[in-house]
Amino acid sequence: MKRIPVLVLLLAMAFTAQAQDNKEWTLTECVAYALENNISIKQSQLDVEVTDADKLQAIGNFVPSLNGSASYSTNTGANINPVTNAFENETFSSFTTGFNSSLTLFDGLRNVRELQRAKLSKLASQYRLDKMKDDISLAVANAYLQVLLNKANLEVARAQNEVTLQQIERTNNLVDAGTLPRGDLLEIQATDAGEKQRIAQNENAVTISLINLAQLLLIEDYATFDIADEGYNIIGDEIIEKPVQEVITAAEENRNEVKIAQKNVELAKKDLQMARGAYYPTLSAFFSYNTRYSDNDFLDRAFTDQLYQNDGIGYGLQLNVPILNGFATRSSVNRSKINLKRNKYQLEQAKLDLESNVYQAYVDAKGALKAYEAALVALESQELAYDYAKDRYDVGLTNAFDFSQSKLRYDNARIEVNRAKYDYIFKLKVLELYFGISPTELKF
């Protein structure tokens, strides 16, 4: 008897696990999952980590270098004894050790520029990562809305087929009673066959769009993957009422495309400054310490005594003045100047492209809104026409063919409303992204 509660617990755990596996994903969950697991985003995050390593290396240029060395050797024949500095024609062993340190005091400010460049490079990488997140979020939203559109169309097809099945039953009764000709029944049955074909096509479209979304999220379990239809409506459309220039100004301040181009110009300026730094002399300080031991010491001193008594230090300054290096510095400066001009042009082009893209997104959103409003008007008209045709058909004032055509036009109008609705929602979200709204804060 004690085993029953355990069995119930295990079944409950299994049911809970299955429910979690078969959960319906919301748009927010899909976007968050993509930002966490997308490979392109992970690669961009690695690029940011690389800039941290570059920054650490640039900081290290301000720290003195320190290197140690040690060697042990056995010599046979005529060799210089490192302790006595005399030639000795016999076998002896020797040991030398020491360390040296150096510090760059001045190098034309190249170390300073390199550290500044490393900081700029990290900002540029972060902007590229943010842009990647924007692109992935928008792609996920588009794929998600496509699933919703296909599901809405499938719902329309199924609902209208239910009406057709009811009409078949009613028409069959009227045909049996001799009120309607058999041709009307055949016409509606043909309509039913066409609707079932469209239902199968819509079901396939839903499946394909779900697979596309799952692949975008890197989810391999296509069979159980599904999304939650939260009844997404048009929210936050006040942005479309703003002047287009206001949207463009906000985009120039917030979009990462321009920020990346601006940082590339700043990086090119630092590269030019670093290249020019090679014209200047380099001044460095050095310090060294060394000591030695030989087993052929004429004073027969112990190992530690020799290391203590034979040590020495050296220190000083070193100045390197560039005079002629095959025009390498001049060539590097010229290439840096050209690269700076190229990046300035790219910044101008990025601003022009952004302005063009915002205008296009603005016009697309305005056009999508008009298309959606027109689709609603058309649906209202087709619904009235369908209701009128249905009433006439119910009392035998119209034939099955005319009724089927009216029903088909009504179905197409509902499908067009769905398409226009989700098309407008997506274009509206694109415009919001240009305005500077974060992908995780978009309202649906």
Domain of residue 123, CATH code = 1.20.1600.10
- HSE, side-chain direction, 13 A CA sphere, residue 213: 31
Using a 10 angstrom Cβ sphere, with 0-12 exposed, 13-18 middle and 19 or more buried, the burial of residue 301 is: middle
pLDDT in tens, 366-419: 898 899 999 999 999 999 998 998 888 777 777 777 888 888 888 889 888 888
Residue 32 has pLDDT above 60, yes or no: yes
Residue 18 has pLDDT above 70, yes or no: no
Domains held by the chain: number: 1
How confident is the model at residue 339, as a pLDDT? 95
Q: Is the pLDDT of residue 255 over 70?
A: yes
Q: How far apart are CA 369 and CA 376, in angstroms?
A: 11
Report the C-alpha gap between 355 and 252 in whole angstroms.
8
> Does the structure show a pLDDT above 90 at 98?
yes
Q: Is residue 8 part of a domain?
A: no
Asked if pLDDT for residue 92 goes beyond 50, the answer is yes
- Predicted pLDDT of residue 244: 87
**In this structure, are residues 72 and 93 in contact, taking their beta carbons and an 8 Å threshold?**
yes
**Residue 70: in which H helix or E strand, if any?**
strand 65-75
The DSSP call for residue 177 is T
Half-sphere exposure of residue 361, counting CA atoms within 13 Å on the CB side?
A: 25
In a domain, 6, yes or no: no
Could you read off the pLDDT of 65-78 as tens digits, one per residue?
999 999 998 888 77
Run of H or E residues at 106: strand 92-106
Do residues 424 and 365 make contact, with C-beta atoms less than 8 angstroms apart? Answer: yes
Q: Is residue 127 part of a domain?
A: yes
Highest mean pLDDT among 77-81, 230-234, 236-240, 343-347: 343-347
**Does 317 reside within a domain?**
no
Structural domain including 273 reads 24-311+323-441
Q: Which of 15-24, 53-62, 234-243, 419-428 tops mean pLDDT? A: 53-62
Report if residue 208 sits inside a domain: yes
Total residues belonging to the chain: 444
For residue 14, is it within any domain? no
User: Could you identify the residue written with the tokens 């087993």?
Assistant: 295
Decide if 18 is inside a domain: no
In a domain, 260, yes or no: yes
pTM of the model: 0.76
Q: Residues 200-216: what's their mean pLDDT? A: 92
| pLDDT average, residue stretch 267-278 | 93
- Tell how far CA 426 is from the center of its chain: 18
